[in-house]
Amino acid sequence: MSSSQSQNCGREIVHRTRGHTQGSITRLMSPSDLGQLIKPFVFLDLAAFDGRYSPMPMGFGWHPHSGIATVTVMVEGAVRFAETTGREGVLPAGAVEWMRASNGVWHTGQPEEGRVRAVQLWVALPPELENAPFASHYVMPKDVPVEGPVRVILGAYGDARSPIEAPPMTYLHVSLKHGERWTYRPPKGHTVAWVAVHDGVLRTPFPIPSGEIAVFEPSEAPIDFVAEGQTGFVLGSAAKHPHELALGNYSVHTSPEALRLGETEIRRIGQQLRAKGTIQGAPG
């Protein structure tokens, strides 16, 4: 992770990184690093499976969460999912998953055959939701609202509003053609803003290449973009999460007590899953 030099024009980028890649996953931020800077956005993975290797079976992929919501945007291919909320199915290209773990949920996933690419985000929940009952919402491609080059994942943009009930924040999936210009004007109070590019190069006016996340200085100022090549990226903006992050292995809460409640619940669910023989080799 490194700081950029101040630019003469445009909103300054204060951090940028290509993260760390292990296998098919590139981790661009975690709750212990950039997530501290741009909370409520606390974790971001770019996943790219080329289809050459057999994926891990569903039974070995089970893992828990509490205190957060996971948001998965399917870029290419499809993923099969299951969760202890009772939901299961397949997310095709263009679909969106919102899984609000709150006090505790386990889930698993497996890429379908062929090339699969996805972006997975975690958002930290406010105190009134972090130990609340779970909730999940799966939005098929035709039901994702679109405004110009923007698909609205969370919040609103222009006249389009996401069907997902999420805490106040904006999360967009944007596709620009070569040379196309686009300006993002954050809602009032949204001083946190970042982008992560999965295709092409995005200029702001300096380049952000594919595979990189860039964090902008705290401000409500607009951000101007221009694409080099066919460019796809996600953008998040929000008011700064005002709470400290209490971190567990799979959990993010606002206090040690809230974390204790969440981890107690995910241990209970894990014991039930093992007793049923649902999971193999999953975390404790």
Rounded mean pLDDT, 222-247: 97
- Is the pLDDT at 9 greater than 60? The verdict is no
Q: By percentage, how much of the chain surpasses pLDDT 90? A: 76
Are 77 and 114 in contact by the 8 Å Cβ rule? The answer is yes
pLDDT at 277: 79
Instruction: Identify the pLDDT of residue 104.
Output: 96
Global confidence as pTM: 0.92
Hey, what domains does the chain have and what are their CATH numbers? Answer: 13-276 (2.60.120.10)
pLDDT above 70 coverage of the chain, percent? 91
Q: What is the pLDDT of residues 59-103, one digit of tens each?
A: 557 889 999 999 999 999 999 998 988 888 999 999 999 999 999
Q: What is the pLDDT of residue 239?
A: 97
